[in-house]
Amino acid sequence: MNPRRLKAVAKKEFIHVLRDWRSLFLALAIPMVLILLFGYALDLDLKNVPTVVWDQSRTPTSREFVSFFDGSPYFSIIDYHDNYRSIQRDLETGRAMIALVIPSDFTKNVLANRKTSIQVMADGSDANTSRLALGYVTGLGMIYSRKINVARVHLMGGEDMAPPVELVPRAWYNTDLRSRNVIIPGIIAIVMIVIAAMLTSVTVAREWEMGTMEQLISTPIRGPELVFGKVVPYFAIGLADVATAVILGQWLFKVPLRGSTGLVFLVATLFLTGALFFGLMLSVSLKKQVVANQAALLAGFLPTMLLSGFVFAIENMPMPIQCLTYIVPARYFIALLRGIYLKGIGLEILWLNALLLTIYALIMVALTNQRMKLKLE
């Protein structure tokens, strides 16, 4: 590989990137847009679930029960009704997700130490959110029941009875259980695969469509020099996008980076190399800009979004799909990022994921050079 020819190709590609200011602007702006979009829109934390109440009892005791929901950050009481028709309308239109119906004999049963039931209705069209909301409803109901039992014991002159088993939950690595702390590191993988798909998948295909590839073939330039020379500018843009994602994640969303920043860029370099050469291989093979770009998005973006564990837990997928995720490189990259960001661990634990990313990058480099060599001969 001749350094002068490699430098000449890289310089030519840099000039093209700088002249095509629209693509350069998109390459630098897309990471910001994706981080803002995913960071604000993709919030898996359950907060302010719209709730309506039909309090048939209308007593201080029932109002005290309702106050448990009104004072909770997970529920927001938006209205009070006095019939099922209004409740059904709110659930059908999506105005409310949870409805509570407190029976008229609620206070009487509570004061008489009798079991009483409260009807809870949920909009099950959003299954995951409804499941979480019903879990929180059950938890608040248990807290209220315990409060009533403690008050009864005190009135009878007794002491609080300690439960035979007490669970003391504690969340490690993400104490507040903020979903953004998990989502933001994964966005780096989404950003990089989109940039690689958008930029490198059209580089060689553009040469074929513009008729300049024949001129390159007639020069002394070799396949590896053309391949690496074309990747260099986009590699620099990719690292700039990684820096943008890291800075915005910490500054805007307060995502902690407990591990090494240098290690983040190291593993990002491995993934970026594989992604860039993957897009370039498609460009070399398909020779059409539109086809290569669409193929890169379908083969890169969709698996990264759906099969990497970014949004959907791999453990919850069917076994055949779980096996398929092992060939998705973003799975290992996101595991590395979350380990570095949230746990502060390094390659002494995550070495296998880093090794697999390295193998992926080497395979993409080898395949791209092989395809380019065939085209230049």
Domain boundaries, the chain: 3-42+178-376, 49-155
> What is the rounded CA–CA span in Å between residue 372 and residue 281?
8
What letter would DSSP give residue 51?
E
The helix or strand, by DSSP H or E, that contains position 78, with its residue range, turns out to be strand 75-80
pLDDT recorded at residue 374:
45
What SS3 state is found at 163?
Answer: coil
Residues of the chain with pLDDT under 70: 1, 153-167, 202, 204-205, 207-218, 220, 373-377
Beta bridge partners of 55: 102
pLDDT recorded at residue 172:
81
Beta bridge partners of 99: 52, 121
Q: What is the CATH number of domain 49-155?
A: 3.40.1710.10
In this prediction the pTM is: 0.79
> What is the rounded CA–CA span in Å between residue 336 and residue 345?
9
Q: CA 364: distance to chain centroid?
A: 25
pLDDT recorded at residue 360:
93
| Helix residue ranges per DSSP H, the chain | 3-19, 21-41, 60-70, 84-93, 106-111, 127-155, 180-199, 203-210, 213-218, 223-251, 261-286, 289-296, 302-306, 319-324, 329-338, 347-376
- Beta strand 49-55 with 119-122 is unpaired
Q: CA 180: distance to chain centroid?
A: 8
**Could you tell me which residues come within 8 angstroms of residue 208 by beta carbon, excluding any fewer than 6 positions away?**
287, 288
Amino acid at 267: V
- Virtual CA dihedral for 208, 209, 214, 215, nearest 10 degrees? -110
- Interior CA angle at 40 toward 67 and 276, to 5°? 150
What are the two backbone dihedrals, phi and then psi, of residue 266, each rounded to the nearest 5 degrees? -65, -50
What are the two backbone dihedrals, phi and then psi, of residue 317, each rounded to the nearest 5 degrees? -85, 155
190-219: b (≥16 Cβ within 10 Å) or e: bbbbbbbbbbbbbbbbbbbeeeebeeeeee
What are the two backbone dihedrals, phi and then psi, of residue 156, each rounded to the nearest 5 degrees? -85, 5
